[in-house]
């Protein structure tokens, strides 16, 4: 868990960043992706094409660990469409650490026959293009994807993300009420995926499967917007 700063960090200027990368990218697929990914920060969340993204990795450090699976669940505020789901198991360059195998329930043989991330990257980019990504805890998905693409295509991959954990932290960690609770010596409210979902009456799902977690994240965002925001809230206020 990273230390969460009590002040609100200014969101990066994503439109400028994406425009610059679209112009500079050498890899044609990456260039296409960045060009398509230009979403207006003023767009209401209720109209935005969204995609929940989750990855399972062999560890927490993108320099030492690797991605083993990726789940995508395209959705809108109104509907999550299971029919459009995407899921890949990918072969990490390093042999799997046994402990993490148990964690993800992805077996050696599954990994053995899986493609390298590079082989599915174009498909992944196409599925992400034009949609705003939604993750729970962006500090895994963003650096791992960035590092993995950097290693394969010589340039990184970063894009705006709505982080449902940050949205939860804004309420339960950074609000006046949250600081008051801390001052009272109450334990902080858990903002992990499962606990966050529970607060909105969402059912428990079996965790640690990239696609199930992507579905769980999509549902959580729908609930957070219904409870705390409006369909008219501009995406620029939600992404980070």
Please give the residue ranges that form the binding site for another protein (CB under 8 A). 71, 75, 78-83, 85, 87, 200-203, 205-206, 209-212, 215, 218-219, 222-223, 226-227
Which one, 25 or 221, has the nearer CB to another protein? 221
CB 85 within 8 A of CB 102: no
Q: Do strands 132-135 and 50-57 pair parallel, antiparallel, or not at all (unpaired)? A: parallel
Nearest distance in Å: CB 92, another protein: 19
The pair of three-digit structure tokens given for residue 6, joined into one six-digit string: 């009590």
Nearest distance in Å: CB 178, another protein: 17
Which one, 22 or 223, has the nearer CB to another protein? 223
* Residues making up the chain, counted from first to last: 240
Nearest distance in Å: CB 34, another protein: 29
Cβ neighbours of residue 177 under 8 Å, at least 6 residues apart? none
Which one, 88 or 137, has the nearer CB to another protein? 88
Nearest distance in Å: CB 46, another protein: 12
Nearest distance in Å: CB 220, another protein: 8
Which one, 18 or 80, has the nearer CB to another protein? 80
Phi, psi of 70, deg, nearest 5? -135, 130
CB 51 within 8 A of CB 72: yes
Burial class (CB in 10 A: 0-12, 13-18, 19+), 105: exposed
Chain-centroid distance, C-alpha 60: 14
Which one, 79 or 182, has the nearer CB to another protein? 79
Phi, psi of 95, deg, nearest 5? -60, 145
């Amino acid at each position: 868990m990273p230390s969460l700063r009590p002040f609100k960090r200014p969101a990066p200027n994503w439109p400028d960043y994406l425009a610059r990368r679209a112009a500079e990218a050498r890899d044609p697929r990456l260039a296409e992706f960045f060009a398509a990914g230009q979403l207006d920060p003023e767009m209401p969340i209720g109209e935005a094409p969204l995609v929940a993204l989750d990855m399972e990795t062999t560890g927490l450090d993108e320099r030492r660990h690797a991605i083993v699976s990726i789940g995508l669940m395209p959705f809108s505020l109104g509907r999550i469409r299971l029919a459009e789901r995407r899921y890949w198991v990918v072969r990490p360059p390093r042999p799997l650490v046994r402990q993490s195998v148990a964690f993800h329930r992805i077996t050696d043989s599954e990994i053995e026959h899986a493609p390298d991330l590079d082989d599915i990257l174009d498909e992944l980019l196409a599925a992400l293009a034009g949609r705003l990504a939604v993750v729970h805890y962006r500090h895994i998905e963003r650096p791992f994807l960035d590092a993995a693409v950097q290693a394969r295509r010589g340039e990184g991959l970063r894009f705006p993300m709505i982080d449902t954990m940050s949205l939860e932290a804004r309420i339960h960690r950074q609000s006046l009420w949250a600081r008051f609770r801390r001052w009272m010596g109450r334990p902080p409210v858990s903002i992990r995926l499962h606990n966050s979902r529970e607060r909105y009456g969402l059912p428990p799902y079996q965790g640690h499967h990239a696609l199930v977690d992507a579905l769980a994240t999509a549902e959580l965002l729908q609930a957070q917007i219904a409870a705390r925001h409006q369909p008219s809230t501009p995406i620029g206020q939600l992404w980070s």
